[in-house]
Amino acid sequence: MKNENKSKEIFDKIHGHKLNLVKPKNDIRETIIENIEKKDDVDIPKNDLEVSVVLAHIKTKKQKDILTKCLSSIKTEKILSCNSVIDTDIQTMTDWCIYNNKNELLFQSQYKDYNVRYYQWKTDENGNVKTIDGDFEHGYAVYNLIKNGLLFAKSIGKEIVHVINYDYIVSPTIIQKNSNLLLENDMVLYEFGDYTNAHSTAFFSGKVDSLLKFFQFYNNKKEYYSDYDIKDGQSFIIEGKFWKFYKQNPAKILKKSTLELKNDPDTTIDILSIFDF
């Protein structure tokens, strides 16, 4: 139970919410999406050496609509890295589209094979929190989407990459600021408020070669989950692995807080719950 409480504390600090059994209302998030469409275009100069890599796994119309808004908001060239079949009208919104037909989730039935365990916390109608085994863990699948995008970016001569999960609408001004910061830094990474032992993998910027040191570190699922140690509080989720790697392999990192993204009027993050992926 001690380990469960430790992992719950870390999970809640990063994701900021629990999964409720009561069905949430969608009207607030839908209003946000509609308002994004109304914002004026921002004139941002293009850099031939930079590109944005958008991560996506699309199963529903709602997810497709969110991806459309994400792609529309990006002023740099775009690589879409996905592990689901993407409609042609979405592909034409990108400069390159990479499709990997493997979505390498780790399912609950496989936990014992990899000697791992991942928890979810559900709150019932009476406010009681229940700890259950999660149906799956998606860290390695996300890791591969990012790696594929970075490797392709490097192959076409790109040096600077902005990685954006498809349910993030990031202001072009923030992306431009990050590009400028990379003139003197290897990466611009985001921490979760006062919790500093993890880096967001939903949005970050960096030099391709510096990022690939981590995103080529694991060659397969077995390696990725081999250093699982829930007691240390870092190695059981991808955000913790990201942080821990660069703690052990220092780079010139400028750290920011996800609060900066949340407080930006032209940026919307976490449009979907992580359990929608």
According to the model, what pLDDT value does residue 195 have? 77
Residues of the chain with pLDDT under 50: 2, 10-11, 14-42, 275-277
Q: Report which of 11, 49, 13, 52 is spatially closest to residue 172, judged by C-alpha positions.
A: 52
Beta strand segments in 104-258, E? 106-107, 119-123, 129-133, 136-137, 160-165, 187-191, 203-207, 253-257
According to the model, what pLDDT value does residue 141 have? 95
How, if at all, do strands 78-82 and 96-99 pair? parallel
CATH fold group of domain 2-276? Spore Coat Polysaccharide Biosynthesis Protein SpsA; Chain A (3.90.550)
C-alpha span between 58 and 276 (Å, rounded): 10
Token look-up 């032992």 returns: 197
Q: Where are the domains of the chain?
A: 2-276
C-alpha span between 226 and 254 (Å, rounded): 29
According to the model, what pLDDT value does residue 106 have? 92
Beta strand segments in 49-138, E? 50-56, 78-82, 96-99, 106-107, 119-123, 129-133, 136-137
Q: Which helix (H) or strand (E) holds 20?
A: strand 19-20
The angle at the Cα of 147, spanning 142 to 112, to the nearest 5 degrees, equals 45
Note whether 84 and 59 are within 8 A (CB).
Answer: yes
Which residue pairs from 192-195 have beta carbons closer than 8 angstroms and sit at least 24 positions apart in sequence? 192/13, 192/14, 192/16, 192/239, 192/257, 192/258, 193/13, 193/257, 193/258, 193/259, 194/13, 195/10, 195/13, 195/14
According to the model, what pLDDT value does residue 230 have? 65
According to the model, what pLDDT value does residue 129 have? 79
Note whether 151 and 214 are within 8 A (CB).
Answer: no
pTM over cut 0.75: yes
According to the model, what pLDDT value does residue 173 have? 96
Note whether 81 and 96 are within 8 A (CB).
Answer: no
Residue 60 is given by DSSP the state S
Q: What is the largest CA-CA distance in the chain?
A: 55
According to the model, what pLDDT value does residue 134 have? 83
C-alpha span between 115 and 1 (Å, rounded): 17
Here the tokens at position 263 are 């407080």
